[in-house]
Structure 1
Amino acid sequence: MSAVEKAIVILKKNGYKYTDKREQMLSIFVNEDRYLTAKEVHLLLKESYPTISYDTIYRNLYSFVKVDILEETELNGEKMFRFGCMHQGHHHHFICTSCGMTENIQMCPMDFFKEQLSGCEIESHRFEIFGKCKECSDINNL
């Protein structure tokens, strides 16, 4: 079963109906394999669905986040979304600030912070590193 098919099953289990637009949105995230803004998704979908509204895109993105299909982060005050890492164990990401490419980081810094926060109950955490990937760094250094 493909990642998009698995995501559609998750949507249906959570009471969301199948639509071609939702499937196309999910396919965009699988094919791009990077963080995207709602604006980028809107531009990519407008080719197939010229009348699709920005609000529809945003509502669906947040529905996908709510059921753990998409992950979200924020960069420079703008929300960004990517297909969730469904199959992988606990990990974090390096995110390119130019192209949105992500790379998994298997090491987790929480052991260090647990020692620093003795007596505290940590409920969750997120660790992301932002910078330029090799390709974007090479372009900027030409």
Structure 2
Amino acid sequence: MNVETALQRLKEKGYKRTKQRERMLEIFSGQDQYIAAKEILKEFQGYFPSVSYDTIYRNLYMLTEVDILESTELGGEKHFRLSCDTDGHHHHFICTDCGKTKSIAFCPMENVHENLKGYDIENHKFEIYGKCPQCH
């Protein structure tokens, strides 16, 4: 997803376009990796010195709620990235060192459905963690 698409989605969901939200999306654009909130805060403070950690988190969670960002937990800390442009249902490999991701077209839910007959599955998230070739 690019910045303009994300800003359009924000508008459609009834949120205002602000300089802080634009800057946050610019930080994520062009990066194919998850970024910790504390890294966003460091980057932000160069542009908005008085920004609080709460403001960063509030915006990160709002952007996740409207499907502009994806989140995962790495090393006990929430990390975020722009939702990917990959068409169709897919999952990710996530490098535990650098946070880079790789899309995986395979979905294991077919096997899960066989083992959970009678259960009503509403959603799922499948991620594989390890080291990418550059970090291995």
- TM-score tier after normalising by the smaller chain length: over 0.9
Q: Equivalent residue of 1:41, what SS?
A: helix
Residue in structure 1 matched with residue 35 of structure 2 by the alignment: 36
Does the C-alpha gap of structure 1 residues 85 and 17 become closer, same or farther in structure 2, counting only changes over 3 Å?
same
* TM-score, with length taken from structure 1: 0.90
Return the structure number with greater relative CO, CA threshold 8 A, min gap 6. Answer: 2
Q: Structure 2 unaligned segments of length 5 or more: list them.
A: none
Does residue 111 (structure 1) correspond to residue 110 (structure 2)? The answer is yes
Residue deviations 1:53-81 (CA, integer Å, cap 9, x gap): 11111110011011110011112321111
Letter aligned with residue 131 of structure 1: G
Q: Equivalent residue of 1:39, what SS?
A: helix
Higher helix share goes to which structure? 1
Q: CA RMSD in A?
A: 1.3
Residue in structure 2 matched with residue 8 of structure 1 by the alignment: 7
Q: Equivalent residue of 1:135, what SS?
A: coil
Letter aligned with residue 96 of structure 1: C
* Cα distance in structure 1, aligned partners of 2:120 and 2:14: 33
Give the length in aligned residue pairs.
136
Identity between Structure 1 and Structure 2 (%):
54
Structure 1 residue 86: deviation in Å? 4.2
Structure 1 residue 87: deviation in Å? 4.6
Q: Equivalent residue of 2:41, what SS?
A: helix
**After TM superposition, where is structure 1 displaced by more than 6 Å over at least 4 residues in a row?**
none
* Cα distance in structure 2, aligned partners of 1:55 and 1:104: 31
Q: Equivalent residue of 1:56, what SS?
A: helix
Residue in structure 2 matched with residue 55 of structure 1 by the alignment: 54
Residue in structure 2 matched with residue 25 of structure 1 by the alignment: 24
Letter aligned with residue 119 of structure 2: C
* TM-score, with length taken from structure 2: 0.94
